[in-house]
Amino acid sequence: MNTLTKGTFRHIVFKDEDTWYAVALEFNIVESSDDPKLAFFNLLQAVSGYIESAKKIKGSRYQSLNQKVDNEYEKLWEILHSPTPVKSPYLVNMYGVSRV
C-alpha cells in the first residue's frame, strides 16, 4: 500500500503508432512524447507533483495513491511478466517498479 512517504508504483513506456506513452499504473497517470526518455521523465515529474498535491490535501486516506489499475495497462503488465513468451501488442521501451 502506498502512503505519502513510502511505496512503489509500476511503470511501462510503450509506443502506439507514432507516440510514446509512459504510464504509472497505480496512479493512473499517463504522459506522452515523441521520445521514450522524455515521456518517462515527464511521468516521473507528474508522479512527484501528484504525491506533493496529495500531501497538501491530506485527503481520503491515501485512496488516490492506490487506485484500481486500468484493465488495458494491467493486461500489458501481465504480458510483460508472462513466464512464457507472449508478443506484446506495442513496442515496449522499458518497464519496472519505482519507489515513491
Taking the C-alpha atoms of residue 24 and residue 41, their distance in angstroms, rounded to an integer, is 12
Q: What is the pLDDT of residues 21-75, one digit of tens each?
A: 999 999 999 999 999 999 999 999 999 998 888 888 765 555 678 889 999 999 9
Return the C-alpha torsion angle 61, 72, 76, 66, nearest 10: 0
Q: Can you give the pTM of this predicted structure?
A: 0.88
Three-state DSSP state, 8: strand
Q: Domain segments of the chain: what residues?
A: 8-99
Contact assessment for residue 13 and residue 94, using Cβ atoms and an 8 Å cutoff: yes
